[in-house]
Amino acid sequence: MLPPVKSQKAVYDVVIVGGGLAGLTAGYLLKDLNILVLEKEAQAGGRILSHSAHGIPYDLGAVFAYNQDNLPFKVNSSALIRESEQIGIFYGGQVHYGSSPIDCLKKLELEPNYLQQLENFQIQPAQEKEGLSDKLYTLINAFFQVIHPGDIWDYLPSLQQDALRKFSTDHYETSNGELIEQFQSNLGSILKLNTKVIEIIDKQTCVKLIIETGDDIDTLWAKTVILTTPAPIALSLLKSIQEPCQSFLQSVQYGRGTVVAIGFKNLELTSFAYLVTPDLPSATIIQHNIQHNSNKVLLVYYVGKVSAQLEAIPNQQIIQQTLGILQQLGIGDISEDKVLFTDVHHWPMVGTIISEDSYGKWKQQLSHPSRRVWLAGDYVFANTEQIIPYGMEAAILSGKQVVKKVKQYLNKEFFAELITKKTPSEQFKSNFLIYTSIYQLSSDKPVFLENKEEGNIAFYGLMLQAHPDKTLQTYLLNQATTEHLWEYQIDYGITADDSALVIEGLMETGVSDQVLMPSLKKLVECFYDSEQGAFRTIRKQGRAVYWQGSSIDATAQVGYLLHRIAPDQFQSEISACTRYLQQNQSEQGYWQSRWFPSVMLTTYYVIRLLWFFPQYQKTLKKTRNYILRTQTDNGSWGNSIIETATAILALQTMNVGASAQTEAKQWILSQKTDQGWRGEPVLYYWYEINPEKKLFFHCMDKGKITTAWATLALNG
C-alpha cells in the first residue's frame, strides 16, 4: 500500500516515475529525502529483463555486462563470464569470422570498388551515403544493428561508425538482474511496484500525480517529479509541456525489437561472441556460455519491421522459425532434442533512433518539460561532445545528472518558502529562526515573562552551508557590520561565535578568501586573548559575569576558520588555540559549551580543528571512544537531532565508526516529517539584572536549524 497522501498538505520532495535504471539510480541518490519511485510493472528494471530456467539466468533486455564504475553504490557482482573475441557475418550461405567488423567484411573477398567504398566510409560515413552500394550498405547496416534497432542512415553521422566497432558480450553469471535486485534491496519501501501513473499536472505550488494501483485511483502531490519513461509515454502523461521540450518529445522515435532466448544442453558450438545475419530475417545472434558446464544460451534478435510482424505470430511458431535459422548457420549440431528452454519477448521500444531531427541541436532545456518536472532516462543523456542517449550506462548517468538538477531546485525552494513579495533582505530580516522563552530567576522562584522570536542573522550562516543559496549569501554579506563581523540578531552586537557561523557559511559557498580576510583579522583584533591563547565570545564586558573570559566554542570555531583560510598568517594563534582546547577537554573526553545545550556540537567544533594536527591523536582517541560509547540503542545520541547529526559529523571527520554512522543516519531519517525535522533547543543564556535577579533565555529552533544540521550529516 502507498502512504496515505490524499491532500496537498502531504507533499513528497520527489516522485520518480519509472523503475528503470535511471529511476532507480535517482531514487538511490535521493533516498535521504521524502520520495517515492513508482513502477507500473510487477518488477523493476525497465529494459533490464532477466529470467531463469533450469538454473540458467539469461537476459531478454539489456544484455551487455553493466559497468560497475558508474553505479551509485558498490555492487556484489557475480562472476564475469568472458566470451569469445571472434565475431562473424552470415552471408552467401556461410559464416565469415573475424576479429572485427572490418576483418569480417574483408573475409568476403569483396571487389576492389567495394573495398574503396568501405575505406571511404571509415573516414567519413555520412558523406558516403549516396556513394555506398546496396550490397555494402546491407553488410554495414547488419553490424550497425548489433546495438541500434534502426537503419544506419536514420542516425546522427557521429554514430554511424558504430557499424565498424566490435562490442564485448561479456556477461555476469547471474545476469544483469542481479543489479536490479540490489537496487530494490537498497530502496526498500520507497519503490512501489504495480503502480501506474495516469496523469502528471505541474500546478502552481506542486505537482499532482493521478495513479492507479489495482482497482484504486489515488492522488499524490510532489514538490518535484522525475519522469523516466520513454518519450511517447512521457508525452502522454504530461498535461503541460513547455517548448522546446514538447517538440523534442514528439520527434523521438524508437525501434522495435524481438528477442528469442534458447537454452541448449551439452552443445558444442563454434567459438564466437555474436553473428550478424543480413541474409536472414534475424539481425544478430549472441552466444552466452554457461560457467562450469557445456550448456549454452543463444539470443536471437529481430528488429524493425520483422519484429513487428513477429508480434502477430504465436511464440511456438517464432521459436520454430528461429531454430531453423540457427540450423542454417553451420555453427554446431543444433536440434530440438538439445533444447532446454525457450523464451520470447517483444520490445515495442527497444531503443532510441538517435536522429538528426531529435538530437541534431541538443540542449538541456529539452529534458525540462515544466518548472517542477524533469525527464531522465538513456534517451535524454546527451551532450554536445558525445551524443549517445542509449543503453545502461546512459540511463545511470542520466539518473545522476537529474538528481543534481532536482537538488538544486529543492535547495532554492527551501528558501523560497521564506520569501513573499518583499525584497530578499526584508524577507530574511523578518523571518526569525528561533522561539525564545524568557524567565525571571530570583532567590525564591522562577517567573515566566514572555515568548518572543529572534535570530535573523548568525544561524542563517549554518543554513547557507546546508542549503547554498545566492540570495541568502548576498543577505549575509550585506549584514556585516562596519567591522566586517556579524551579530546573532540585528542590533544585538557582534560576537565571535555568531561571526564564525556566518563566515563558515560564506566560505563553504565560495566567497573568496580575499573577501573574508578582513573579518578574520577583526576577529583576532577584537576577541583573541593572547595570554590565554584562546578566543572570547564577547569583548571584555557583557551582561553576565560568566559571559567573560575565553570560550571553547569561539576558540574552536575561529581557530578552524583561521586554519582553513590563512594557516600561515595566523600560525601562532592557531597553535595556541589547539593547546587551549586540549587542556580544556573533560575527563570523559568531550568539550562542554558555555552557550549551546549540545555537547556533541561543541565537541565536533573542537575535533575538526585538532584533526589537522597529528600530535593530538591521543586526545582525539579519548573523544572517539566517548562518542562511540554514548550512542544509544536506537542509533541516536540523546534522542536529539542536533546531538546525533554533529556526532555523525565528528565521526566522519575522524574517519571512524562507519556502522555507528549508518545507524545514526537511519535514526535521523526516521525522525523526518514532511516539513523537515522538529526544532530543538539551540541556545541558553541569562542576563544579570542585579545579584539577586536574572533573566533566563531558553532558545528553541523552529526546525530550520535542526534541518540544516541533519542535512549536513546526511550529505557527509
**507, 516 contact by CB (below 8 A):** yes
CATH of residue 99's domain is 3.90.660.10
611 vs 382, which has greater pLDDT? 611
pLDDT tens by residue, 245-270: 999 999 999 999 999 999 999 999 99
Residue span of the structural domain in which 306 resides = 75-171+254-354
Three-state SS for 363?
coil
> What's the rounded Cα separation, in Å, for the pair 254 and 252?
7
In a domain, 271, yes or no: yes
Q: What single letter denotes the amino acid at residue 608? A: R
Mean pLDDT along residues 136-160: 92
Question: Where does residue 589 fall: left (phi above 0), alpha (psi -120 to 50 degrees), or beta otherwise?
Answer: left
User: Of 39-53, 87-101, 222-236, 382-396, which range is least confident?
Assistant: 382-396
**Residue 490: predicted pLDDT:** 84
Q: What single letter denotes the amino acid at residue 24? A: L
93 vs 117, which has greater pLDDT? 93
Asked if pLDDT for residue 31 goes beyond 50, the answer is yes
* Nearest alpha-carbon partner for 705 in 467, 424, 496: 467
Q: What percent of the chain has pLDDT above 70? A: 94
Mean pLDDT along residues 19-25: 96
Torsion of CA 656, 662, 663, 667, to 10 degrees: 130
**Residue 491: predicted pLDDT:** 80
**376, 227 contact by CB (below 8 A):** yes
Mean pLDDT along residues 597-626: 95
Q: Is the dihedral of CA 313, 317, 320, 321 positive or negative?
A: negative
Mean pLDDT along residues 194-212: 92
* Nearest alpha-carbon partner for 436 in 672, 190, 702: 702
| Phi then psi dihedrals of residue 167, to 5 deg | -110, 140
Asked if pLDDT for residue 594 goes beyond 90, the answer is no
Mean pLDDT along residues 341-368: 90
| Phi then psi dihedrals of residue 54, to 5 deg | 55, 35
Asked if pLDDT for residue 5 goes beyond 50, the answer is no
**628, 660 contact by CB (below 8 A):** yes
> What's the rounded Cα separation, in Å, for the pair 454 and 473?
20
Number of domains, the chain: 1
pTM: predicted TM-score of the whole model, two decimal places: 0.60
Mean pLDDT along residues 233-239: 94
H or E stretch at 451:
strand 446-454
pLDDT category of residue 390 using cuts at 50, 70 and 90: confident
CB atoms within 10 A of CB 305: 10
Average pLDDT, the chain: 90
- Sorted by sequence, the CB contacts under 8 Å of residue 282 that are 6+ apart come out as 300, 301, 302, 306, 322, 325
Mean pLDDT along residues 97-115: 90
In a domain, 384, yes or no: no
Asked if pLDDT for residue 644 goes beyond 90, the answer is yes
**Residue 524: predicted pLDDT:** 95
Q: What percent of the chain is helix, strand and coil (3-state, nearest 5)?
A: 40, 20, 35
> What's the rounded Cα separation, in Å, for the pair 623 and 610?
11
pLDDT tens by residue, 399-436: 999 999 999 898 877 655 544 445 555 678 888 999 99
User: Of 43-52, 531-540, 577-586, which range is least confident?
Assistant: 531-540
127 DSSP assignment: G
User: Of 71-85, 403-417, 434-448, 677-691, which range is least confident?
Assistant: 403-417
In a domain, 703, yes or no: no
H or E stretch at 552:
helix 552-565
**Residue 126: predicted pLDDT:** 61
> What's the rounded Cα separation, in Å, for the pair 683 and 614?
32
On the CB side of 699, CA atoms within 13 Å amount to 22
In a domain, 702, yes or no: no
In a domain, 685, yes or no: no
In a domain, 495, yes or no: no
pLDDT category of residue 492 using cuts at 50, 70 and 90: confident
HEC per residue, 145-214: CCCCCCCHHHCCHHHHHHHHCCCCCCEECCCCHHHHHHHHHHHHHHEECCCEEEEEEECCCCEEEEEEEC
In a domain, 262, yes or no: yes
- Sorted by sequence, the CB contacts under 8 Å of residue 484 that are 6+ apart come out as 518, 519, 522
Asked if pLDDT for residue 293 goes beyond 70, the answer is yes
**184, 44 contact by CB (below 8 A):** yes
82 DSSP assignment: P
| Phi then psi dihedrals of residue 374, to 5 deg | -125, 145
* Nearest alpha-carbon partner for 560 in 605, 593, 594: 605
Q: Using alpha carbons, list the distances in angstroms from residue 581 to 142, 454, 557, 578, 607.
A: 72, 30, 11, 5, 10
**Residue 116: predicted pLDDT:** 85
* Nearest alpha-carbon partner for 387 in 351, 420, 365, 355: 355
- Sorted by sequence, the CB contacts under 8 Å of residue 681 that are 6+ apart come out as 597, 698, 699, 700, 701
pLDDT category of residue 388 using cuts at 50, 70 and 90: low
pLDDT tens by residue, 456-483: 999 999 999 999 988 899 899 989 888 8
Asked if pLDDT for residue 365 goes beyond 60, the answer is yes
HEC per residue, 663-676: HHHHHHHHCCECCE
Mean pLDDT along residues 19-41: 95
In a domain, 503, yes or no: no
CB atoms within 10 A of CB 546: 10
Mean pLDDT along residues 449-461: 92
Q: What percent of the chain has pLDDT above 90? A: 71
Q: DSSP for 271-340?
A: --SEEE-TTSS--EEEEEE-TTSS-EEEEEEEEHHHHHHHTTS-HHHHHHHHHHHHHHHTSB---GGGEE
